[in-house]
Amino acid sequence: MALALSSKEIETYRENGYLLRERLFTEDEISNLRLSCEFVESQVKEAIKTDRAREYHLDQNVFLDVDGYTVQLEHNKHLDRLRVVEPVDNLDERFDRLVDDARLATPARQLVGVPNLALWTAKLNFKSHGVGSGFGWHQDSPYWMHDCAHVDLLPNVMVNFDDSKVENGCLRVIRGSHKGGILPGTADGSQLGGFYTNPSLIDENQEVAVEAVAGSVLFFDPHLVHGSGPNLSANSRRAIILTYQPADFEMLKRACVRNISL
Ligand SMILES: O=C(O)CCC(=O)C(=O)O
């Protein structure tokens, strides 16, 4: 497959707000990246036990800031499992190299429409087998708009490390929902409620469950409404979501610039 997106693919992305490219990574590459997930998991589990970690709670869920990254523990008292680690790119050298991989960065550069890119953030989502919690409908742009003046230029690139199906909580999107820009949040009185998209604005007729085999990559718009169900299955659904931006801007949560070398 060509690295660059075709004009048809770009049109699909602009129309739907997302684009799936299947099997961009080989089985061997993905096995290696799964080792990175395991390495990061063990390192993070150690780090959060130290006195460097600062724990806080939002809507009854546990978060910790440690060594410059944020850890979300799994919901519903499954505190022995990690849910999300962000930013994760510098916690394993294979993840660091992945950020510069032309299969991700070449299409991202086309989507941003600039000659050079930097990384905005990188999240590792574990979606552990049996307990992985779902994500309510939301857009990423409302989280980022207070820290970024170019929030339209932050395409997400999700690399699936496991086969991703409805049963293990694959990503779901509301096709075309990016066209409305930043949408109002919910007003349910919870701490993070304002970041979840107001349910009256979700057109469930446009819902798509993006099932994909391991090694597939989903590109999606920062304004696209998305979420996912829980993972009650026996198979984990790990994925990294890299978010790019124009070159020379600082990362989210880290006062440094991580330009992409292509
Ligand atoms: O990994 C998932 O299932 C959802 C992730 C997500 O929505 C996010 O990280 O913004």
The larger pLDDT score, comparing residue 229 to residue 2, is at 229
- Confidence grade of residue 25 (pLDDT, cut at 50, 70, 90): very high
pLDDT for 122: 98
Atom of ligand 1 nearest to the CA of 123: 9
Average pLDDT over residues 74-100: 96
Q: Which CATH superfamily is domain 7-257 in?
A: q2cbj1_9rhob like domain (2.60.120.620)
Prediction pTM value = 0.97
Mode of pairing for the β-strands spanning 82-86 and 117-125: antiparallel
What are 31's two structure tokens? 């096995």
Average pLDDT over residues 72-98: 96
Ligand 1 mean position to 122 CA, how many Å? 12
pLDDT for 110: 98
Quote the CA–CA distance of 171 and 207 in Å, as a whole number: 11
pLDDT for 53: 98
- pLDDT of 262 above 80: no
Quote the CA–CA distance of 95 and 25 in Å, as a whole number: 14
What are 113's two structure tokens? 């429409």
Average pLDDT over residues 161-170: 98
Average pLDDT over residues 109-121: 97
Angle at CA 91, nearest 5°, toward 228 and 43? 90
Please name the residues in contact with 211: beta carbons below 8 A apart, sequence gap of 6 or more.
Answer: 164, 165, 166, 170
Average pLDDT over residues 30-34: 98
Ligand 1 mean position to 250 CA, how many Å? 22
Per-residue pLDDT of 37-72, as tens digits, reads: 999 999 999 999 999 999 999 999 999 999 999 999
DSSP-based three-state secondary structure for 83: strand
Atom of ligand 1 nearest to the CA of 84: 9
Ligand 1 atom 10, closest CA? 140
Containing 98, the helix (H) or strand (E) segment is: helix 93-99
Ligand 1 atom 1, closest CA? 125
Backbone φ and ψ for 244, nearest 5 degrees, come out as: -100, 165
Average pLDDT over residues 17-46: 98
Atom of ligand 1 nearest to the CA of 171: 3
pLDDT for 77: 87
Best CA proximity match to 157, nearest among 206, 122, 208 = 122
Query: Where are the domains positioned within the chain?
Result: 7-257
DSSP-based three-state secondary structure for 104: helix
Please name the residues in contact with 220: beta carbons below 8 A apart, sequence gap of 6 or more.
Answer: 17, 18, 19, 155, 156, 158, 173, 226
Ligand 1 mean position to 51 CA, how many Å? 29
- pLDDT of 1 above 80: no
Per-residue pLDDT of 188-241, as tens digits, reads: 889 998 899 999 999 999 999 999 999 999 999 999 999 999 999 999 999 999
In the block, tokens 């048809």 appear at 8
Average pLDDT over residues 96-110: 98
